[in-house]
């Protein structure tokens, strides 16, 4: 990792501008939750936010929180769920499950749901039944992951866990929760300073260990140092740092070729301060970062969900993913294909244009053989793949990928259409997922597994439950960011 800011020796600090119990770096969903929880536990809390207002990338989010175990919304809409089933599912979708964190998250999910509502809003007691990226209205519950997708249907009983705030639209719903956190922080006496960025951590380094005792800050041309018993880094990921993206998640920086505008920059889900500085500061104090190569990246083919009755093939005309997967799972498999090329094929009876223009309609052909030739797929491969799919689909079956029956339908009526899901041609967007290794209470870990005393991390700069795009569910970032932010704030207040 490049450009690690130097940790400042406390012995070199000549004066402190402030002395508090807890400093929180950043006021997004995790920083706000940490600040409120630390203040509620009686700590003197100071939040330093680099931007002119609270929110960060969290405020840009649509407002999904991944919660379960029997929330009031699940109960009101007739969806049985338990902490145990939620735990089984999250373990199943995680490549390297952190059982302690997943257990804590699932066991505490209903209480966390109640805590969020106690901020001053209510999730609607309504359910959106379709497969969608964001519910079109203000429905409070929907499926936002792979709960109903093979093989996870074999691992846990499916339940919808995507809880959406009552704000319609794809972006900005979470800003309402941020505003409520700002209000609650103010009521509890936590101080927030805007346009004030942290530049370095301050450490005491004796012969035994290095511990964090404060931060250096900058407000325009003014600088200073703050002494603290604990520092919580909640400064976001690194999606807006081109060097870190190129080093760790190059697919996220892939430029896109367009018909009318030539090559354009990728669309990244983030704000300018998602520069990885929080992660790098954590490393400077002895912390270790993990899973930095993992990312959420997607170009959703649905809605409409009828398109998922078709088949998705690579440049060799072979299927490689269950088409009814959550959109980032499909996209993660696309990235593993030869040249990262993939196509969605549907027939006339199942052809509709996507509601979001993320995947590119290529053309229609009267025969599959013509499509095969036009797409450069080896002769006979696509015909064979589609014939096999159609043979079993006529019986409502999909023995190769076990697509759910609702999405199994023969694609036999020409003409046939193809959509381009290839990286660099479809409109992919995403964010980074790796971060500082932490305990269940947010304490930053060193390479040897010991904690860095006085240092915590939460949200997108910490590695907690969400590990990769294949297993991601919408709402996990806001859910885990707020949940583990709370735990970090409470623990830090007790130091």
Rg (CA), the chain: 24
**Residue 239 CA: distances (Å) to CA of 90, 250, 254, 492:** 25, 10, 12, 27
**Residue 111 CA: distances (Å) to CA of 35, 115, 160, 395, 486:** 18, 6, 17, 45, 12
pLDDT, position 92: 98
Tens-digit pLDDT profile for residues 352-385: 999 988 999 999 999 999 999 999 999 999 999 9
Name the nearest CA neighbour of 431 among 457, 458, 461.
Answer: 461
Name the nearest CA neighbour of 469 among 419, 417, 434.
Answer: 434
Rounded Cα distance, 358 and 419, in Å: 10
Tens-digit pLDDT profile for residues 200-227: 999 998 767 889 999 999 999 999 999 9
pLDDT, position 228: 98
Q: How confident is the model at residue 470 (pLDDT cuts 50, 70, 90)?
A: very high
pLDDT, position 3: 87
pLDDT, position 312: 98
Q: Which residue has the higher pLDDT, 288 or 135?
A: 288
Round to the nearest angstrom and report the end-to-end CA distance of the chain.
Answer: 30
- The answer on pLDDT for 171 being more than 80 is no
Q: How buried is residue 11: exposed, middle or buried, by Cβ count under 10 Å (0-12/13-18/19+)?
A: exposed
Q: Percentage of the chain surpassing pLDDT 90?
A: 89
Tokens of residue 323, six digits: 């088409």
pLDDT, position 269: 84
Tens-digit pLDDT profile for residues 98-146: 999 999 999 999 999 999 999 999 999 999 998 888 888 899 999 999 9
- The answer on pLDDT for 265 being more than 90 is no
| pTM score, whole prediction | 0.96
Q: Give the length of the chain.
A: 495
pLDDT, position 268: 83
pLDDT, position 207: 64
Packing angle, helices 476-493 and 99-107, rounded to 10: 90
**Residue 381 CA: distances (Å) to CA of 46, 121, 384, 398, 421:** 62, 54, 5, 18, 18
Packing angle, helices 368-375 and 381-393, rounded to 10: 140
Name the nearest CA neighbour of 422 among 490, 476, 485, 359.
Answer: 359
SS3 for 319? strand
Phi, psi of 313 (to 5 degrees): -125, 160
| Rounded to 5°, angle at Cα 32 from 104 and 435 | 60
Average pLDDT over residues 301-308: 95
Q: Which pairing describes strands 429-432 and 267-268: parallel, antiparallel, or unpaired?
A: parallel
Tokens of residue 283, six digits: 């490393």
Residue 60 DSSP one-character state: G
Q: What is the number of alpha carbons within 13 Å of residue 420 lying toward its C-beta?
A: 20
Average pLDDT over residues 63-79: 97
Average pLDDT over residues 280-288: 97
pLDDT, position 195: 98
Q: How confident is the model at residue 486 (pLDDT cuts 50, 70, 90)?
A: very high
Tens-digit pLDDT profile for residues 400-431: 999 999 999 999 999 999 999 999 999 998 99
- The answer on pLDDT for 350 being more than 80 is yes
Beta bridge partners of 211: 204
SS3 for 35? helix
């Amino acid at each position: 990792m490049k450009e690690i800011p130097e940790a400042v020796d406390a012995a070199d600090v000549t004066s402190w501008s402030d002395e508090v119990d807890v400093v929180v770096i950043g006021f997004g969903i995790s920083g706000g939750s940490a600040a409120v929880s630390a203040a509620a536990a009686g700590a003197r809390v100071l939040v330093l936010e680099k931007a002119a207002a609270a929110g960060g990338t969290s405020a840009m989010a649509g407002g999904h929180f991944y919660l379960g175990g029997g929330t009031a919304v699940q109960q009101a809409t007739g969806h049985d769920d338990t902490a145990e089933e939620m735990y089984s599912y999250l373990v199943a979708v995680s490549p390297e499950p952190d059982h302690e964190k997943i257990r804590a998250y699932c066991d505490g999910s209903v209480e966390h749901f109640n805590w969020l509502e106690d901020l001053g809003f209510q999730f609607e007691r309504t359910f959106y039944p379709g497969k969608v990226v964001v519910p079109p209205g203000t429905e409070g519950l929907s499926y936002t992951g792979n709960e109903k997708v093979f093989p996870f249907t074999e691992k846990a009983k499916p339940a919808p866990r995507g809880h959406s705030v009552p704000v319609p639209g794809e972006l900005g719903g979470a800003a309402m929760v941020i505003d409520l956190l700002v209000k609650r922080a103010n009521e509890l006496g936590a101080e927030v300073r805007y346009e004030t960025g942290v530049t370095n951590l301050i450490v005491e380094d004796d012969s035994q260990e290095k511990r964090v005792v404060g931060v250096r800050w900058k407000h325009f041309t003014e600088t200073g140092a703050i002494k603290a018993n604990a520092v919580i880094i909640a400064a976001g990921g690194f999606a807006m740092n081109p060097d870190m993206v190129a080093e760790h998640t190059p697919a996220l920086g892939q430029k896109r070729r367009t018909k009318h505008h030539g090559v354009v920059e990728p669309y990244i889900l983030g704000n300018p301060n998602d520069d990885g500085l929080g992660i790098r500061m954590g490393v400077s104090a002895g912390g270790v970062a993990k899973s930095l190569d993992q990312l959420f990246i997607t170009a959703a083919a649905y809605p409409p969900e009828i398109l998922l009755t078709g088949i998705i093939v690579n440049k060799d005309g072979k299927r490689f993913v269950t088409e009814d997967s959550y959109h980032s799972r499909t996209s993660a498999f696309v990235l593993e294909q030869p040249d990262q090329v993939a196509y969605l094929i549907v027939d006339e009876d199942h052809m509709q244009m996507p509601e979001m223009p993320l995947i590119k309609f290529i053309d229609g052909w009267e025969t599959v053989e013509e499509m095969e030739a036009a797409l450069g797929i080896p002769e006979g491969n696509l015909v064979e793949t589609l014939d096999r799919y159609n043979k079993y689909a006529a019986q409502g079956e999909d023995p190769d990928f076990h697509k759910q029956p609702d999405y199994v339908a023969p694609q036999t009526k020409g003409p046939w259409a193809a959509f381009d899901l290839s990286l660099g041609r479809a409109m992919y967007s995403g964010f980074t997922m790796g971060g500082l290794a932490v305990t269940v209470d947010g304490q930053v870990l060193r390479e040897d597994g010991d904690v860095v005393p006085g240092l915590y991390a939460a949200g997108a700069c910490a590695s907690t439950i969400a590990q990769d795009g294949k297993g991601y569910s919408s709402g996990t970032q806001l859910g885990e960011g707020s949940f583990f932010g709370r735990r970090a704030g409470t623990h830090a207040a007790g130091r």
